[in-house]
């Protein structure tokens, strides 16, 4: 029995050593090409873009769904499209922006619907990689809910750095990688490509998570101390996915409005025909991005009564 316990402890010690070494290793070459590493450019934009600014926060519906040049020309605001991937979790996305908030920022949150249900707001596997950029510690700064949500992904995170496929023979997406983002943070490399068939989202079955509403209120209170203004803009969503999630979409919109958030346009307006989507329920084609951007500009002007900052 004693020998058995010693063997178990030795094995656990070995695993701990491997985990420590793996976490301490720099990111793999394949990971460096991941769109997650667009965080470096996005953070630079958040840090250096001068006011008056309009900052977009959310998942990949933003880089795949906006023409920031049009927004700049239409609103006389300097856009920062900080969206990367919705699996990072809305809480971490917003927390990251708090490191860069500037006086008089106009902040637009365009959250994918999944963020409002279950534990999605706390992130998933990609959060570990996102959070380790610049500090190596994938759990640094996370709260208890985020930590408990991400622990199950730790073994995969640890052993991925030991996978030879992370170093040799990997492929890089032509349109969604760390270098895909333009000077505003948009992605346009797919504009000349044929759309890729994708499956529509099934109904979101998780329970609505009131915590995300509470966190958004907290976030609004923090940025308001710098006279930053917060608006919620609906994400684009394809028709077939919307049919499966009608109740969820209505619930999200109702809950946001009930607590007084300023929303830009009706959520139903941002449900577009499937032909305007490139490869997922949130990724628009060039035509789709142009339509969505024009709608956003109109809704923003209507909400603010054309009282936008002037250069």
pLDDT at residue number 310: 37
pLDDT at residue number 17: 58
Where the chain has pLDDT below 50, the residues are 11, 306-311
pLDDT at residue number 309: 39
181-209 pLDDT, tens digit per residue, is 999 999 999 999 999 999 998 889 999 99
Whole-prediction pTM: 0.91
pLDDT at residue number 201: 86
> What's the token pair of residue 134?
């610049």
113-161 pLDDT, tens digit per residue, is 999 999 999 999 999 999 999 887 888 899 999 999 999 998 888 888 8
pLDDT at residue number 27: 82
pLDDT at residue number 91: 97
pLDDT at residue number 155: 87
Domains of the chain by start residue, with CATH: 35-304 (3.40.50)
pLDDT at residue number 5: 63
């Amino acid at each position: 029995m004693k020998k058995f316990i010693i063997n178990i402890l030795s094995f656990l010690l070995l695993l701990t050593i491997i985990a420590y070494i793996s976490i301490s290793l720099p990111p793999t070459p394949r990971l460096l090409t991941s769109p997650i590493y667009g965080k470096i450019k996005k953070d630079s934009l958040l840090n250096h873009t001068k006011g008056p600014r309009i900052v977009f926060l959310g998942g990949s519906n933003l880089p795949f769904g906006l023409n920031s040049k049009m927004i700049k020309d239409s609103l006389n605001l300097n856009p920062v499209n900080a969206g990367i991937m919705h699996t990072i979790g809305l809480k971490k996305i917003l927390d990251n922006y708090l490191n860069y908030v500037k006086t008089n920022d106009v902040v637009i949150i365009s959250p994918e619907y999944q963020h409002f249900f279950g534990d999605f707001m706390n992130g998933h596997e990609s959060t570990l990689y996102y959070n380790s950029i610049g500090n190596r510690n994938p759990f640094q700064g996370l709260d208890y809910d985020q930590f408990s949500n991400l622990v199950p992904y730790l073994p995969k995170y640890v052993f991925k750095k030991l996978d030879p496929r992370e170093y040799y023979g990997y492929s890089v997406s032509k349109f969604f990688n760390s270098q895909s983002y333009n000077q505003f943070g948009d992605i346009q490399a797919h504009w000349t490509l044929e759309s890729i068939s994708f499956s529509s989202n099934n109904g979101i079955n998780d329970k609505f998570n009131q915590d995300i509403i509470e966190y958004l209120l907290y976030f609004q209170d923090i940025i308001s101390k710098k006279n930053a203004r917060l608006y919620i803009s609906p994400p684009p969503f394809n028709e077939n996915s919307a049919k499966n999630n009608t109740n969820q979409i209505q619930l999200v919109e109702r809950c946001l409005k009930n607590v007084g958030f300023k929303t830009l346009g009706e959520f139903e307006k941002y449900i577009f025909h499937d032909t305007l989507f490139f490869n997922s329920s949130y990724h628009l084609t060039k035509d789709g991005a142009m339509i969505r951007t024009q709608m956003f500009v109109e809704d923003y002007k209507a909400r603010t009564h054309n009282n936008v900052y002037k250069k």
